[in-house]
A and B are shown apart, each in its own frame.
Chain A
Amino acid sequence: MLARRIDGRVVKLVGHPGHPRNRGTLCPKGVAQIMALYDPNRVKTPLIRTNEKGVPGRWRQATWEEALTLVGQKVREVRAKDPGLLVWQKGRSKAKAFYDEAFVKATGATKLHHGAFCSDAGYRAGEYTVGISGVLHPDFRHCRYLLAWGYNLTNAGGNQLCWITWPQQLIQARERGMKIVAVDPRLRGTAHFADEWLPIRPGTDLALALALCHELIALGAVDREYLSRYTNAPFLVQEDGFFFRREGKEQVWDLRAGGPRPHDARDASPALEGTFVADGKRVKPAFQILKEHLARYTPEWAAEVCGVPTEQIRRVARELAENARIGSTVVVDGVRIPYRPVAIMAYHMSQQELGFQTVRAMLLVVMLLGAVGAVGGQRLDVGSWKVHENFEKLEHIEIKDPPYNVWLKDSKFFPINSNNSSIVAKVMQDPQRYGVKQIPEMIIVHMSNPLVAFASTPDLEEAYRKFKFVVVIDPWLSRTADLFADVVLPASTLEKYEGPLAATDQYVDAVALRVPVMEPLFQSRGEIEIYLDLCEKAGVLYGKGGYLDHLNEALKLKDPYRLPLDRKPTVREIFDRWAKSEGIAEGVAYFEKQGVKTKGSVAATKFYGYATDPPFGGVRHRLYGEALLRYRLEMRKRGVPEIYWRDYTPLPTWRKPTMEGSPREYDLYLVSFKRIEHKQSRSSQVPLLAELARQSYVEINPRTARAKGIRDGEEVWVESHNAVTGETRRVRAVARYRESIRPDTVAMPHHFGGVARHPWTDGQGPSPNSLFFTGEGYVANTADQSFHVKVRVYK
C-alpha cells in the first residue's frame, strides 16, 4: 500500500497501483490501518510485569536498554542449559529471513508456528501427494469450473495470498463464464458468486471427495495418460499393501511384455487395472486398489453421510467430467500443454480431524481428471512449480525413540507433524505421557496471540503458566501478553522496514519491501531492530553461527554485499545490501521510491507442472501413499493408541469423526469463520473495523433457533463437548438468525477478544477457540488442529 503524507503526517492509505496482489486497491482492513497507526492504546514503551501471572497484568514502563538487557540475559541463561528450552512462537512474520530463519538458527530455539491453525494439513497432503507446498487454488485465467470448497470468497484470503488477489481473479474468471460450486456448511459471501451450493455436513468433506472419485471412475472420466506416466497409479501393490519391488525398485505391469517392468522403463505400457501374479505374489496396480477401495463410496452413501442430495453429487461429478475435457491440449506461451479447466479451491477447511486425508482425497479427484498442473486446472503454490523438499522427507520419516522434543518431532504419535502449539501445550501439561523429558522454560511470542488465536484456549493457558519467562513482541497488549508476559516489547505497526515480501499474484512475479511511513510512534521499534539489539544482548549477534551470519544465508546475500559479522548494521543498510544483491543497483532507495519491483510474467514452462522440465519436477505423484502404511505399522508396533494411527492409510479412508461420539444432546456442529472486517485476533480493537463488526455472535438457522425457543438477538449459552475426555466448555454469545447455514450447524467468528485494555474491545465477546478442544480426536493424524466440535445451544 501507499501512504499519502501531507507535511509528514499520514492522512490516508491506498493500494499500490503497481502491486500485482491488489492493483491499487485495499480491503477494509488496509484502509483502516491508519487508525491502528495512530492509536494511543498501542503499547508505548517496553513493559515489565510487576504482579503474578494468570491475571491481567500490572506493568511498569521500562527503557529498551533495561528490557532488552533483561531478555538477553534470560536468553543466555536458557541457552546455557539447552537452546531447545527457548521457544520461539511466531504468528505474523513478514520477514522470514530475519525471524524464522536467522534468529531461530542463531539461538537454536525451538520454533513454533501457526500452520497447524491455518492450513498445514492441506500443505502436508499437497507436499506428500504431488510435492508442491500449498493447498488448492485454480489457474484462474483459464479455469471453467471451480469447486469452492469451504472457500469464503468475500471474507478470506485463500491459498497463501492476501484477501484481494483471489477475488479479483475469480471475478474476472466469472465474467469469462467460469462456473462455481460452493461446498460449505454455511453459504458465506461466496454465495453471491456461486451457481450452486452443496450444504455439506461439517467434517464429512472426505466422504464427498471419495464419492466424487467413485463417480468419476464410474463415468470413465479418468486421465489414464496422466495417471500412467506421472503418478504411482500403475505401481504394483502386494497383498500386504506395500509396493512390489525388484531390486528395490517399484514395478509396473507392462501389458505389452505381459510382466512386471521397472516403473521408469522407457517404453512400458503399464496397466492401471487388473490382478496379476509376479514372483509368486498376487499384485494389483495401485489404481486397481483405488477402484476397489472406492467401490463402497457411492454418491448414495455420501448423500447420507454428508447431508447433500445424491443427485447433486452426481451432477457435480458429471460437470467435473464434462468440463475437464480429458485429452485436450492448448497452446500457452507457444507451448502445448494439457488443458483441464477444472479445479478445487480450498484452504483453511483442511484443519479438521480428517484434514490430511480429506485434502489427499480432493487431490485424488483432480488427479483422476488429470487436472493437476494443467492449463485451467489445479495449482497448489503461488509461485512456480517447484517440488518441495518435503516430497521426499515425508516419505522417509524415521520414527524415533523417546525422548521427544516439545512438539513431538519424529515421534510415534505424529510421524508427519505440522507442529501444533496446542499439542505443545498438552505436552507441557503432561510431558511423561508423551515421552518428553524437558519442557521449555522461555518463550518469545512474536506477533502472535495464542490464547485467543489458537484453539484451545484453556489448554494454552495451562501451558503458559508453566513457562518461566515469557516475552511478547507486539504493538498491542494482547490477551496472551496481559495474562502471561513478563516483558512486552512494543513493535511498530507501519513505521518500520520489513521484507523481503513476495508480491506475486501467481501470474506476475514481483517482490516488495515495507518501508516506514514515518518515524516510529511512541517508543515502538521495528521487529528487525529489536532482534538485532536482542541478539547483541544475548551474545548471538556476531561471528560465525551468529545472527548476522545466518542472515547472510537466509537473505541469500552475495559478495560484496554480505554483512560483515563484527558490526551491527542498521535495518536500512541490511535491506540496501539485499536489494543490491538482487541486482537492483539503487538498493533500498528503489523500494523507498517505488515500493514494488515487478519481475515479469511467470513463463508457462515454470507455471504449469506439465510444462516444466522435466514435467512435474520429475516426480511421480503419490496416488497411493505407501509410506503412510509404513508409519501406521510402525506406530502400531510401538503401541500407540489407535486414534493416532487410524488415519495413516495409503488411500483416504472414511470414518466417522471422533466428535460424533458426543452425546445426542450435543446436536449441533460448531464451525468458526472469518469476516472481512477483521484479521484473526489482531484487528478487533481498531475502532474503524470494530464499528463494522462490533462483537462476537453465534449464527444459527432460524428453524433450529425457533425450535429451541431462541429469538434473533437473544443471548445464549454455547456448550461444547469432548467426546474423548467428556470435558465440556461453554461461553455466552448473542444468537443471530441466518438462513444460509445448515440447520444442524452453528458458526462463530473467531476475531474477537484479542486485545486487552482497549476501550473498543470491552465486551466484544468470546472467541470460539475457547470451545474447541485439542489433542486426541481433535487434531488430525498430522497434529493439525481441528476446528470442529459438537455443541448444544440453550438459553
Chain B
Amino acid sequence: MPRYAMVIDLDRCMGCRACMEACKVENNTPTAAFWMYVFRFEEGEYPNTHIWFMPRPCMHCDNPPCAKVCPVGARYKREDGLVATDWDRCIGCRYCEVACPYGVNYFNWKEPVRNYYLDWGDRDVRRVTNGRTPPYRNPDLDRPYGEEKRRVAGGGRLKGVVEKCTFCVQRVEEGLQPACVANCPAFALHFGDLEDPQSSVSQVLGRKHSWRLLEELGTEPRVYYVGAHSPHPESRQIEEVKARV
C-alpha cells in the first residue's frame, strides 16, 4: 500500500498561483473555493524586507482532526494516506471545517451550478459543452474511487456539502500526479510514495531539511516543506485572495 505525501520546495516556489488555478480547473471547484491556496508573505520593515511564498494544500494528516469529528464518517482517512470526503454521505454540518487548524475546507454555500463565475446558459456555449457547468466539467470526478468505492473526487458536487483538496484522487489512482504538482512551472511541488526510495518525495526529503505546518498540534501532516521557515507572527499576507461567495 503506497504511503502518499507531498513535498513543497519553498526555495523554488515563486508564488505564481498557477497551482491554485490548475487545481481549480481539474477539480471544478466553484467560486472562492481554493483547495490549493498560496500565501504571499512579506516580513520586516523597509528596506529590510523579505518576501516569500507558501502553497497550502490540504495536509492529509495522519491524525486528522477533521476525520475524528465527522459525525457520519463522510470524512475519512484512506490507507494510502489520502483524507477523503464522501460527498454522498456528508450532511454539511461543517464540523470538519471548524476543527481543521489549517483552514482547508470549503463548503458549498450555493447551488454549485450558480457558483461558477459566469452564467453558462448561453446557447452557443451549451451546444459545445452539452450544457455542463462549468463548461470544462471534468467527467473523471463522477466515478467512485478507492477500494472502498466511494465518491470522493471533485468540487461543486452539490449544495450543502464540504469539500477540500483530494490530492487529485482521480489522477493519483491513474498513476498521474495531482494537477498542482504536474503544472508547477518552478517544479517546486513533489508528490509520491514515501515507501518508494526512488520517488521524488523520498529523495527531496532525504536531501534537505524538512518541516511541517503546525507540527506541535500533533496532526501528523503528510505535506512537508523544505526551505524557508514556518510562518511566524511577523509574516503578513500581501496580495491575499479575499474572494468570497
A, B co-complexed: yes
User: Contact: B185 with A187, CB < 8 Å?
Assistant: no
Q: Which 9 residue pairs of A and B lie closest in terms of their CB atoms, listed nearest first?
A: A40-B122, A191-B51, A687-B117, A31-B21, A25-B185, A38-B135, A154-B14, A740-B49, A28-B21
User: Contact: A192 with B46, CB < 8 Å?
Assistant: no
For A199, list chain B residues within 8 Å (CB). Answer: 46-47
- Taking CB as reference atom, which chain B residue is nearest A699? B238
User: Chain B 43-75, CB within 8 Å of chain A: the 1/0 string?
Assistant: 011110111110000000000000000000000
Tell whether B26 is near chain A: CB-to-CB under 8 Å: yes
User: Contact: A739 with B125, CB < 8 Å?
Assistant: no
Tell whether A738 is near chain B: CB-to-CB under 8 Å: yes
CB A125 to nearest CB in B, in angstroms, measures: 29
For A187, list chain B residues within 8 Å (CB). Answer: 49, 51
Greatest chain A CB density within 10 A among B13, B24, B52, B184 is at B24
User: Contact: A34 with B25, CB < 8 Å?
Assistant: yes
Interface residues of chain B: helix, strand, loop or mixed (majority): loop
Supposing A22-B185, A171-B186, A739-B42 touch, asked if A12 and B18 sit within 8 A by C-beta, the answer is no
For A34, list chain B residues within 8 Å (CB). Answer: 25, 135-136
User: Contact: A25 with B183, CB < 8 Å?
Assistant: yes
Greatest chain A CB density within 10 A among B26, B183, B243 is at B183
Residues of A714-747 whose CB lies within 8 A of B: 736, 738-743
* CA of A461 to CA of B128, assembled, Å: 38
Tell whether B20 is near chain A: CB-to-CB under 8 Å: yes
Tell whether A189 is near chain B: CB-to-CB under 8 Å: yes
User: Contact: B118 with A40, CB < 8 Å?
Assistant: yes
User: Contact: B12 with A171, CB < 8 Å?
Assistant: yes
User: Contact: A192 with B14, CB < 8 Å?
Assistant: yes
Supposing A25-B183, A167-B185, A521-B125 touch, asked if A739 and B49 sit within 8 A by C-beta, the answer is yes
* CA of A215 to CA of B214, assembled, Å: 49
* CA of A167 to CA of B241, assembled, Å: 23
User: Contact: B124 with A522, CB < 8 Å?
Assistant: yes
CB A607 to nearest CB in B, in angstroms, measures: 24
Tell whether A330 is near chain B: CB-to-CB under 8 Å: no
Tell whether A691 is near chain B: CB-to-CB under 8 Å: yes
For B22, list chain A residues within 8 Å (CB). Answer: 14, 26, 31
User: Contact: A15 with B138, CB < 8 Å?
Assistant: no
Supposing A38-B129, A692-B241 touch, asked if A27 and B136 sit within 8 A by C-beta, the answer is no
User: Contact: B15 with A691, CB < 8 Å?
Assistant: no
Residues of A136-172 whose CB lies within 8 A of B: 153-155, 163-164, 167-168, 171
Number of interface residues of B (CB under 8 A): 54
- Taking CB as reference atom, which chain A residue is nearest B184? A25
30 A/B residue pairs, CB under 8 Å, sorted by A? A7-B130, A9-B128, A11-B139, A12-B136, A24-B182, A26-B18, A31-B24, A40-B120, A40-B125, A164-B185, A167-B14, A171-B186, A175-B12, A189-B14, A189-B15, A189-B53, A191-B50, A192-B15, A197-B49, A199-B47, A521-B124, A691-B117, A691-B241, A691-B243, A736-B238, A738-B238, A739-B42, A740-B42, A740-B49, A743-B46
User: Contact: A14 with B14, CB < 8 Å?
Assistant: no
User: Contact: B241 with A676, CB < 8 Å?
Assistant: no
For A197, list chain B residues within 8 Å (CB). Answer: 47, 49
CB B183 to nearest CB in A, in angstroms, measures: 5
Tell whether A759 is near chain B: CB-to-CB under 8 Å: yes
User: Contact: A9 with B124, CB < 8 Å?
Assistant: no
Tell whether B137 is near chain A: CB-to-CB under 8 Å: yes
User: Chain B 99-130, CB within 8 Å of chain A: the 1/0 string?
Assistant: 00000000000000000011110101100111
Interface range on chain A (Cβ under 8 Å from partner): 35 or more
Supposing A40-B120, A192-B15 touch, asked if A168 and B186 sit within 8 A by C-beta, the answer is yes
For B183, list chain A residues within 8 Å (CB). Answer: 14-15, 25-26, 31
User: Contact: A192 with B118, CB < 8 Å?
Assistant: no
Supposing A12-B136, A153-B14, A154-B14 touch, asked if A691 and B118 sit within 8 A by C-beta, the answer is no
- Taking CB as reference atom, which chain B residue is nearest A174? B11
CB B214 to nearest CB in A, in angstroms, measures: 22
For B122, list chain A residues within 8 Å (CB). Answer: 40
- Taking CB as reference atom, which chain B residue is nearest A738? B238
User: Contact: A701 with B46, CB < 8 Å?
Assistant: yes
Supposing A38-B125, A171-B186, A738-B238 touch, asked if A28 and B17 sit within 8 A by C-beta, the answer is yes
Tell whether B16 is near chain A: CB-to-CB under 8 Å: yes
Tell whether A35 is near chain B: CB-to-CB under 8 Å: yes
- Taking CB as reference atom, which chain B residue is nearest A164? B185
Supposing A6-B139, A25-B183, A739-B44 touch, asked if A40 and B128 sit within 8 A by C-beta, the answer is no
* CA of A46 to CA of B47, assembled, Å: 52
Q: B25 contacts which of A31, A155, A691, A701 (Cβ < 8 Å)?
A: A31
* CA of A445 to CA of B26, assembled, Å: 35
Supposing A154-B15, A739-B42, A740-B46 touch, asked if A35 and B117 sit within 8 A by C-beta, the answer is yes
* CA of A617 to CA of B213, assembled, Å: 55
Greatest chain B CB density within 10 A among A28, A675, A701 is at A28
Supposing A25-B183, A187-B51, A687-B118 touch, asked if A692 and B46 sit within 8 A by C-beta, the answer is no
User: Contact: A741 with B21, CB < 8 Å?
Assistant: no
Residues of A19-45 whose CB lies within 8 A of B: 22, 24-28, 30-32, 34-35, 38-41, 44
CB A254 to nearest CB in B, in angstroms, measures: 50
User: Chain A 670-704, CB within 8 Å of chain B: the 1/0 string?
Assistant: 00000111000000000111011110000001010
* CA of A27 to CA of B16, assembled, Å: 7
* CA of A188 to CA of B130, assembled, Å: 43
For A192, list chain B residues within 8 Å (CB). Answer: 13-15, 51-53
